Amino acid sequence: MARNRRLIGVGVVVFVVLLQAATQYLSGLDAARIRGHLCFLAVELPTIMVALGLASTQLKRRHATAGTAVGVTVLVAGTLGAGFGILLHILSQDFPTVMLRPVPNFTLARGALYGFSFGQFHMGLWSLAFAYPFAIDEARVKDLEADQLRSAAELARLRAHLEPHFLLNTLNAIAGLVTEDPREARRLIGCLGDLLRDALHDDDELQTLHAQVAWLQRYAAILQARHAGALAFSWDVASDTRGILVPRLLLQPLIENAVKHGALQRPGGGTVTLRVHWTGDMLECVVEDDGPGAPPGEPRPGAFGLRAVVRRVELKYPGARVRLEARGDGPGTLARVEIPRAALASSDESAPSSRQKLQ
């Protein structure tokens, strides 16, 4: 990446020099003077550019302030420019073609002053060609790192939100079943153990949709046991999507939201459905409930789980979308996650260590 940015900088400098030469040629200057001037620039420009690059590296290592950086850069460019102005004065005595135009009374002092001012022009060219692209790239990388840290923090909050109240409620349900239905109590203990084990993997580690749906089915089994007769689940996962890698706990907040604010709000209970399939080049994950419905559009205020899903999907997969919609065939709400195939492929290539075998 750094090498590419340097090549871009060199290309910008060469382009500006060639543009300057073309302008001089079109203005009718003598070809010999243009060649002489270009030869002089071929020595001056690289020297000033390299010196400014070294100065910039030292300033970064010393964590210099903006004012100090500007002052040092102006001083380095001005000093070298003045030195080359003096050299230009000396050379012009014997080789007048190094001057684009004859300058009357081109004294040593005027040569130094001319070189100093031209050094500032070259400093501006260096800033445009080298400093500015690096600054833009570094700002982009820092923003991306900040987004990733926020995403990791949100995942940690999701886990913290899931574990305490879910664990407490599940343990209460198990306690009630120990004497009434020991077999069901043992089954729930097994499901709970599997959930807690799987939730302790590395932050934002990818897993296959097959593994995530299996986790969600164990999660759903516990919810069904806690709300006996009031909650049902339906799973419609296309076979050609099961090996796709997605972030852990991606769909859990959508399932939880559909249960809490959808199915359980319906008199007599309701159903939550998960559908995963391809729609053209878009992977579509839909969590649907048949509850009273919610306003379409943005998640309601305080809906941390839904907002975390939106942020994680948009950060991980460029071009992806998360939407809340009203069901078209009756009451209820759809939470729709759409991820482009190209974004999935790119994410898969960038994290090969996260691939898990289908269970």
3-state SS record for 300-353:
CCCCHHHHHHHHHHHHHCCCCEEEEEECCCCCCEEEEEEEEHHHHHHHHHHCHH
Per-residue pLDDT tens digits for 20-73? 777 766 776 677 677 777 777 778 888 888 898 888 888 888 888 888 888 999
Q: CA-to-CA distance for 66 and 92, rounded, in angstroms?
A: 38
Question: Residue 12 in contact with residue 129, Cβ under 8 Å?
Answer: yes
Per-residue pLDDT tens digits for 191-234? 777 776 765 655 556 889 998 898 889 888 888 888 888 899 99
Q: CA-based diameter of the chain, in Å?
A: 109
**Composition of the chain by helix, strand, coil, percent to 5:** 65, 15, 20
**pTM (2 d.p.):** 0.53
Q: Give the lowest-confidence range in 120-124, 270-274, 278-282.
A: 120-124
Is residue 203 within a helix (H) or strand (E), and if so which, with residue range? none
Average pLDDT score, the chain: 78
User: C-alpha dihedral over 301, 168, 208, 313, to 10 degrees?
Assistant: 10
Phi, psi of 169 (to 5 degrees): -65, -40
Count each helix (H run) and each strand (E run) in the chain, helices first: 10, 7
Q: What is the pLDDT of residue 150?
A: 59
Instruction: Give the domains, in start order, of the chain with CATH numbers.
Output: 2-141 (no CATH), 181-354 (3.30.565.10)
* pLDDT above 80: residue 350: no
Report residue 303's pLDDT band, with 50, 70 and 90 as the boundaries: low
In sign, the C-alpha dihedral spanning 203, 208, 211, 212 is: positive
Q: What is the pLDDT of residue 354?
A: 38
Is residue 114 within a helix (H) or strand (E), and if so which, with residue range? helix 108-126
- Residue showing tokens 């100093």: 116
Residues with Cβ within 8 Å of residue 56, at least 6 apart in sequence: 69, 73, 130, 131
- Residue showing tokens 């986790």: 215
Q: CB 179: neighbour CB atoms within 10 A?
A: 8
